Structure 1
Amino acid sequence: MRLVDLALQVLICFLISTLFWFIVEFRRRNDRKRGPGPTLLPGLGRVHDLPLQHTWFKLKEWGDRYAARGYYRVDLLDTRFFVITDEKIAYELGILYHESKRWIARLMRNPDAFQWSLEDMASKVMCALTWDDPNQSETLIRSAWALLRQMSPAGPITNVIPQLWKLPYIINPWKQAERKRHDEQIAWWLERLKDSKEKWKKGELRQCWTCDYFEMTAAAKLDRKMTLSCDYEAACVLGMLALVGIFTVAGPLNYWLVAMVNFPEWQRAVQREVDTVCQGSLPTLEDIPRLPILRACIKETMRWRPNVPTGVAHEAEVDQEWDGCVITKGTRILPLDYAFLRNPIKFPDPESFRPERWLEPGWPTYREPLTQFPTIRGMTTFGWGQRQCLGMSLTQDEMVVACGALAWAFHLECKAHPLTGEVFPVPDNKCNSLLIVKPDPFQMAFTPRSQARRLEALRIWESANRRDLKERKVRLEDT
């Protein structure tokens, strides 16, 4: 009987202690000094309310409810987030032509493989810029997809329950899988640097970022302060530069196709502008100032369907107080780009595709001169502060060249069944749930604007390819 009484006393003490802890923790987590936000449960925060798929919709919903001052706080298990929904607070090259010509020729020959060829085009640009070797494209795409899945909220369960990551390695399948992916990626990057160095020593490596590194290292000699610390670091830096340039371009290009099919009046407007300005030729970077409609459609595509809707979190390095709220060290400060780009004051009718908001006086976003604006440079999509994306200019150049080439070459349309004539619509609201999003697979038709334009596209690519092969051959013979 005494054992039963003792067990009952222990149970009562445990329940009282748990209740006391729950009350104290509940009050601590929901302290008004931490800022506005949803009610947080001890130990959980609001992780039970956040879906694994399309998390930005829920984050935006919380923002609409709690972020009257442009921000709110939320905990997911033991990870603290300070979510910014007002962007004002967050403020406190020849290779392109070559690969766009290859891409247009591929679409002429095999339009059904457009989504694969789109990623391949973006990857080939990055491989050529980094290692002067577009043939590495397929491996780079696989490597990029593996990393993207690993780092996304919809990836491994450890991204939602980080405590699982602390399990011992021998019983931690997530850490084992990531170690394998990481080691394979690093080994491939080192192999690329080694092969490039051999070509550079022989004089076979054309100008690229890796060539720049070798030349800087040779000039610096033993003074490593002037360049990267070692080849290992260089291989990783160069490899990551190549990797991140794929989906940051391929995603917006996919959504450009979705927009042009669903809003054909804007497709026709872009075609008319390209025809008038370029007079039958493929658009070039020199034409950018005279193509405001093309630039407006590109920018509106990236606003309407942002590439990184959740934004990329920054971590508070020290405890600080801002606007009366205490932001403790380690808090993840999340600039929610989906909310920035849905601000109805700055973007009236935010859910609609309205390129005219960048072209017509009277819209809050209109800026002059139209030879300079609109531009995607400086968009919230590219992040903030020291870690703002370095590739804004490259992304704009790629988008203008690629989208301009599409407008020059094709009518972009919904695909119809060859027998029944049934039209397959292109959905504008279906996408994956990774950190960098792109539309779910869809079907569409690439109809050459004329037979003459089709033949011209093939001729342009064959001519460009011959020049490239000849240049490589001459360089090899000179060596």
Structure 2
Amino acid sequence: MEGVRILLLYLAVPSLLFSVLQQILSWRKKGPKRAIPGPKQYPVIGRVHDLDRFSMWKKFKEWADMYGPIYRTSMLGQQFIIVSDETIAQELLVKRGHIYSGRPQIRALFNHKTGPGYVALMDRTDTWTKQRKWVHAAMADFHRAHFHGVIEEEVKRYLAVLMLDPAKFHANTREHCGRIMSRLAWDDASIGKENGDSADCTLTQMSVSGPIVNTMTPLWSIPWALNPWKKFERAREDKQRAWWLNSLKLAKQRYLSGNLPVETWSFRYLDNLYKGGNTTLEQSDKDEEFASCMLGFHNLVGVVTICGPMQFFLMAMTLNPEWQEKAQEEIDRVCGDRMPTTADSPNLPTVRACLKETLRWRSGVPLGVPHQAEKDDEYMGEKIAAGTIVLACEWSMNRVPEVYPDPENYHPERYLEPGWPTYQEPLSRYPNFREGKGMHTFGWGRRTCLGQHIVDDEMFVSGAAALWAFNLSKKRCPSTGEEIDFDSEATNAHVILEPLPFPMDINPRSDERAAQVLAGYAGVRDKLKV
């Protein structure tokens, strides 16, 4: 194994030497003293050596405390600007969104900047514009219809699964999110697990905690025959693209035979083709690739942006039983013996506050999604060169004490009680994930995530229903009876996080509630592909 590592390093030497040469040339270009501070940089490597790629956001927070709300750093020649202040992020990423809306190259992926496979990772090409416009309109249509009841139906199944197999709540939560998105995209919840696993594998490839080539980028230049990262990614992407394309072709057959449900994104896309005169739905290979990737990636993103936050919510309720009890009292008062639905959202502000505080306390995207300067700019009198990566670090922003007093601890009351900086009225509307004070989980400016409405609805119904049905608590040691503690910051370290599986007991709140859970599932089971 050691010999393989040495071989890989030698194969990467030409690229490393090129990086060294670039660095030496840059030293000769003496510039003015920088107005944007930052940690000391070392030749060639910058500060890559002391960044833990499994919790990089914590180092960025440490540097923010030392150097302020905006600072510079670099890694192997790549320049970074790290922002930990909402006002600065608004100035750069929103007001100057025409400059800072590019995406950096993720080394372990092929051609993602040009498309059509990953709309959230593309540069602002025509393909990106067309896909984003279609997804925005489709998401708005479905939100107005509260996603046609799909969320509530799948949540009834989710509750039954949690009750019957509580030990597997972590994997079952991911499958639950995969089922909802697979139904909305293709009307096929049976591929929910495959969808969730595919999403997780894609996230691994996207993340600095994934393939080493995402940080040691010269290794990507190793010849194909000796390059395990290229071989793996080629096989992974080919499999995923084939799945998406096959799903589109099956949807076409179902549309033409009249049995593709109206409440699917694939029906919406194909119906537009049909009404536009393409009554056979025949398309070129390029157009089919465009459509299948648009629907497929839209489907995938809806899994990864919800399953981790939902798992963190279960954790937050387990660790904060006083807030679990307050939320349950509110649910019982409003809903009684029926499971909460999206229609109950205005009347359950405590539930919404617990959900929103979960994403502040344990951010699902702690680094933020990177933006890249598309041309030279100037800020604070200092040049920011084209190609510089700008990170609005969520972990740091969510811990600014002037905005979030006592930031390390879980305080849903910050959204419910006057006097807290993030309090807003009316409580029938605030707090929510989409708007208002506090957090920017969905990104900034022209790269804002288009899925925030489904996150709001799905997180609300899934979270409220779990509290309606169950008591969540720490597991106890069978020998001593003592509660088993766990690390609430232990995660998979992807760009969008899931917590690692943690010990938790899930028990029905009563025998009557257990019967209601089973009856609710029985009432929808015939509609679901189980």
Whether TM-score is above 0.5 comes out as yes
Per-residue deviation, 1:26: 4.7
The secondary structure found in structure 2 opposite 1:380 is coil
Residue 374 of structure 1 aligns with which residue?
Answer: 431
Q: Which moved more, 1:354-363 or 1:195-204?
A: 195-204
- 1:351-362 to structure 2, matched below 5 A, reads 351-362=408-419
Partners of 1:39 and 1:27 lie apart in 2 by 18
Per-residue deviation, 1:233: 0.5
Q: Which moved more, 1:50-59 or 1:25-34?
A: 25-34
Aligned residues with identical type, % of pairs: 41
Picking from 329, 354, 359, the partner of 2:386 is 329
Partners of 1:155 and 1:140 lie apart in 2 by 19
Picking from 276, 279, 300, the partner of 1:220 is 276
Residue 474 of structure 1 aligns with which residue?
Answer: none
The secondary structure found in structure 2 opposite 1:299 is helix
Residue 287 of structure 1 aligns with which residue?
Answer: 344
Residue 274 of structure 1 aligns with which residue?
Answer: 331
Per-residue deviation, 1:24: 6.8
Residue 124 of structure 2 aligns with which residue?
Answer: none
Residue 110 of structure 2 aligns with which residue?
Answer: none
Partners of 2:335 and 2:507 lie apart in 1 by 20
The secondary structure found in structure 1 opposite 2:441 is helix
Residue 87 of structure 2 aligns with which residue?
Answer: 88
Partners of 2:390 and 2:217 lie apart in 1 by 17
Residue 410 of structure 1 aligns with which residue?
Answer: 470
Task: Report if the CA contact (8 A) 1:87-1:340 is conserved.
Answer: yes
Residue 498 of structure 2 aligns with which residue?
Answer: 438
Residue 73 of structure 1 aligns with which residue?
Answer: 72
The 3 A distance-change label for structure 1 pair 20 and 135 is: closer
Aligned letter for 2:60? Answer: L
Aligned letter for 2:235? Answer: K
Q: Which moved more, 1:291-300 or 1:431-440?
A: 431-440
The secondary structure found in structure 2 opposite 1:381 is coil
Task: Say whether 1:160 aligns with 2:211.
Answer: no
Task: Report if the CA contact (8 A) 1:37-1:73 is conserved.
Answer: yes
- 1:28-427 to structure 2, matched below 5 A, reads 32-33=33-34, 35-67=36-68, 70-92=69-91, 93=147, 94-207=149-262, 208-221=264-277, 230-378=287-435, 379-418=439-478, 420-427=480-487
Could you list the per-position Cα deviations for residues 222-269 of structure 1 after superposition, in whole angstroms to 9, with x for gaps in the alignment? 799xxx971111100111011111121111111111111111000000
Per-residue deviation, 1:167: 3.0
Larger Rg: 1
Residue 465 of structure 1 aligns with which residue?
Answer: 525
Residue 97 of structure 2 aligns with which residue?
Answer: none
Could you list the per-position Cα deviations for residues 279-312 of structure 1 after superposition, in whole angstroms to 9, with x for gaps in the alignment? 2211111111111000000000000000010001
Task: Report if the CA contact (8 A) 1:153-1:160 is conserved.
Answer: yes
The 3 A distance-change label for structure 1 pair 22 and 201 is: closer
Residue 477 of structure 1 aligns with which residue?
Answer: none
Task: Report if the CA contact (8 A) 2:174-2:193 is conserved.
Answer: no
Per-residue deviation, 1:109: 1.1
| TM norm structure 2 | 0.80
Partners of 2:294 and 2:24 lie apart in 1 by 48
Task: Report if the CA contact (8 A) 1:304-1:353 is conserved.
Answer: yes
Aligned letter for 2:307? Answer: A
How many positions carry a matched residue from both structures?
Answer: 447
Partners of 1:206 and 1:23 lie apart in 2 by 61
Per-residue deviation, 1:140: 1.1
Could you list the per-position Cα deviations for residues 90-126 of structure 1 after superposition, in whole angstroms to 9, with x for gaps in the alignment? 2222010011000001112111111111111111000
| TM norm structure 1 | 0.89
The 3 A distance-change label for structure 1 pair 324 and 424 is: same
Task: Report if the CA contact (8 A) 1:122-1:249 is conserved.
Answer: yes
Aligned letter for 2:488? Answer: D
Q: Which moved more, 1:327-336 or 1:422-431?
A: 422-431
Task: Report if the CA contact (8 A) 1:304-1:352 is conserved.
Answer: yes
Aligned letter for 1:168? Answer: P
Alpha-carbon RMSD across the aligned residues, in angstroms, is: 2.3
Per-residue deviation, 1:423: 2.7
Per-residue deviation, 1:213: 0.7
The secondary structure found in structure 2 opposite 1:37 is coil
Task: Report if the CA contact (8 A) 2:23-2:77 is conserved.
Answer: no
Task: Report if the CA contact (8 A) 2:150-2:184 is conserved.
Answer: yes
Partners of 1:286 and 1:221 lie apart in 2 by 38
Partners of 2:261 and 2:186 lie apart in 1 by 9
Task: Report if the CA contact (8 A) 2:189-2:528 is conserved.
Answer: no
The secondary structure found in structure 2 opposite 1:42 is coil
The secondary structure found in structure 2 opposite 1:293 is helix
Residue 473 of structure 1 aligns with which residue?
Answer: none
Partners of 2:238 and 2:22 lie apart in 1 by 43
Task: Report if the CA contact (8 A) 2:35-2:380 is conserved.
Answer: no
Residue 515 of structure 2 aligns with which residue?
Answer: 455
Per-residue deviation, 1:173: 2.0
Aligned letter for 2:291? Answer: A
Partners of 1:329 and 1:457 lie apart in 2 by 55
The 3 A distance-change label for structure 1 pair 176 and 163 is: same
The 3 A distance-change label for structure 1 pair 28 and 257 is: farther
Task: Report if the CA contact (8 A) 1:414-1:426 is conserved.
Answer: no
The 3 A distance-change label for structure 1 pair 49 and 418 is: closer
Aligned letter for 1:398? Answer: E
The secondary structure found in structure 2 opposite 1:32 is coil
Residue 5 of structure 2 aligns with which residue?
Answer: none
The 3 A distance-change label for structure 1 pair 29 and 181 is: farther
Q: Flag structure 1 segments of 5+ consecutive residues without an equivalent.
A: 1-18, 470-479
Per-residue deviation, 1:191: 0.9
The secondary structure found in structure 2 opposite 1:190 is helix
Aligned letter for 2:203? Answer: L
Residue 123 of structure 2 aligns with which residue?
Answer: none
Partners of 2:277 and 2:75 lie apart in 1 by 49
